[in-house]
A and B are shown apart, each in its own frame.
Chain A
Amino acid sequence: MSPVLAGTLGLVILLVLLLIRVPVAFAMFAVGFSGIWLLNGLPAAMGLLSSETFALASNAELIVVPLFILMGNVASVTGMSRKLYDAAYACIGQIRGGLASATVIGCGGFAALSGSSVASALTMGRTALAEMDRFNYSPRLSTGVVAAGGTLGILIPPSTGFVIYAILTQQSIGRLFMAGVLPGILLLTLFILTVMLLCWIWPEMGPKGPATTMAEKGRAFVGAIPILSVVLVTIGGIYGGIFSPTEAAGVGAALVILIGALGRSLTLASFWQAARSSIVTTASVMLILIAAHLINPFIALSHLPAEVSGMLVTLDLGLYGTLLVILAIYLVLGCFLEGLAMLVLTLPIFMPVILQLGIDPIWFGVLVVLTLEMGLISPPVGINVFIVKSVARNVPLSEIFRGVTPFWFAMLLCLLIIIAVPQIALWLPGMM
């Protein structure tokens, strides 16, 4: 069997396993491991299984996963996130879907403190979903908003995606960060417009709340001060150089625990329960991330990306044609692969083509990161959708995928707008 055929077949089998409800991580492990075994022998498969598993489980940057889950869980059992949403509801609850829009803005804010989409979706999911449920928002809307909003983590700086892109293509990290700002705001705005449109068509998705007086708004706001101050300290600490974004997760968790303990809203039992449930969510998320790292080498060994891009070079499609085909490839690969590892495999192949066509690499970087974001929520392997599922146990995955679809189209629209008007990405870095 030729490697390319093996790779294609592997992806088809993965798809089938997923659709017949084999757990996502198990399906990816099975396909990745057997694929590497087939293409490169059993020692290579065993070696990768052991090294990737241990390397990911001891990855210094992924420690944010359990820490942010813990922070979200404690904020939830102490009622801090409830008070935050009470405040948001008092202020904008009268607007249809107001809480969902507020959640999008929350995701944008969280994205500004974390470089990772996984962390954004986990933390926002842990705090926001139950709260929107409390105000009778449909799970389809709330999970869709969190899964899509979480992807802002790699568009709004700081972003791990841009750092890796910059290192691989020798572009300026600073200019890429600047280039991500306006597209990030544009996408955030499109998400809010999507929420408003959905709630205009189906008002029951995000029902209107009662009008509130200024005094009620003020009282609700005062209640939210503890959690808001945690957020401010965390963001301030990162930008003030007191701690790294990774450490911010630990500091944030420690702060909510401290506030909960001092305010007597956190008992020893509820605290332990919150921590114990955090490691369960961590296990399900990390197992998927580990398994994704076995799929990537399998696809690389199958030469699938190299073959596809080799074909692309011979096609001679012109500037926009090539650009669109490359983005389409990222979109398709993004349906199966974890985004950042995919960059390492594909950028060295695509970059010469891009530079030869005279495409601005900063602009291309923004488009690629935006496309990766779409891959995070597109079926069958949508990492962010899985993450939201891990914190919203009672919502069927199909419902989350349905909920996220309108936002996927919003991202597509954003992508097309930035292709049509490159200045949205290039204006700010041009000012540097």
Chain B
Amino acid sequence: MEALTRWTDRLIGLSAFVGTAGLLFVVGVILVDVIGRNFGRPLYGAQDMVTMTMVLIVFGGMALCDRLDGHIVVDIFEGSFPEWLNRVIDIASALLGAVIFALIAWAIWNSAQLSQMLNLSTNLLRLPLAWFQYAVVAFSGVTVLALLMRAGLLLAGAPRKSAEGAL
């Protein structure tokens, strides 16, 4: 169990690293494009780079978001539920999330194969869509692991909320 947790945490850290690096890359791309354009030399395919990197940003942070308990909940009745019920809801929610991300991974895996068959790519730079769809599949897979780990830890009696300071 501990080894599993450690490896899952490493994968979560790795996907967050890709997402964070992607965000900084996008800032750079926009800056170079804006400056270049106003001197008549825009960055060729800037929009292709921005939109495809955005996929990495959005899904790269998904597993860490869950690890840090970052998914938004309506907590109006939390205080009036007994502790055991809150725990059951948390475990069920984590399992539901795992199913959802597994479905996302499966659906996008199918689309990625279709993208390869249809030779789909971005319009200017010809970046293959399938690369980024497989990235979503991988990141979603890590998120499934993170959610299963949450469910497992809660079942084993871990405290319900992760430390806020971790952010």
Contact = CB atoms under 8 A, between A and B. Distances in A.
Q: Decide if A and B touch, CB cutoff 8 A.
A: yes
Given A57-B54, A275-B23, A284-B70, A26 B100 contact: yes
Contacts of B60: 279
A50 B93 CA distance: 21
A23 B99 CA distance: 14
A19 B75 CA distance: 7
Interface stretch (A128-136, A249-257, A368-376, A417-425): A249-257
Interface residues of B, number: 58
Interface string A366-396: 0000000000000110000010011001101
A213 interface: no
A20 B52 CA distance: 36
Determine chain A's interface SS by DSSP, over half rule: helix
A19 B59 contact: no
Interface of B is mostly: helix
A54 B133 contact: yes
B103 A20 contact: no
Contacts of A278: 20, 23
A124 B74 CA distance: 22
Contacts of A49: 103-104, 107
Interface stretch (B1-9, B24-32, B151-159): B24-32
Contact of B52 (A58, A70, A396): A58
From A19, A51, A54, A284, name the one whose CB has the most chain B CB atoms within 10 angstroms: A54
Given A58-B52, A277-B167, A26 B93 contact: yes
A102 B81 CA distance: 38
Interface in A260-315: 272, 275-284, 286-288
B125 interface: no
Contacts of A401: 76
B76 A19 contact: yes
Nearest to A402: B76
B54 A63 contact: yes
Given A50-B110, A59-B54, A279 B20 contact: yes
A52 to B, nearest CB: 10
Interface in B122-151: 132-133, 136
Interface residues of A, number: 61
A394 B140 CA distance: 27
Interface in B35-85: 38, 47, 50-52, 54-55, 57-62, 64-65, 68, 70-78, 81
A67 B22 CA distance: 11
A280 B50 contact: no
Given A21-B73, A59-B51, A280-B68, A30 B58 contact: no
B121 interface: no
Contacts of A386: 72
A283 B72 CA distance: 11
Contacts of A22: 73, 89, 92-93, 96
A251 B124 CA distance: 23
A431 interface: no
Contacts of B75: 21, 396-398
Contacts of A85: none
Contact of A63 (B50, B89, B92): B50
A18 B74 contact: yes
B89 A21 contact: yes
Nearest to A23: B71
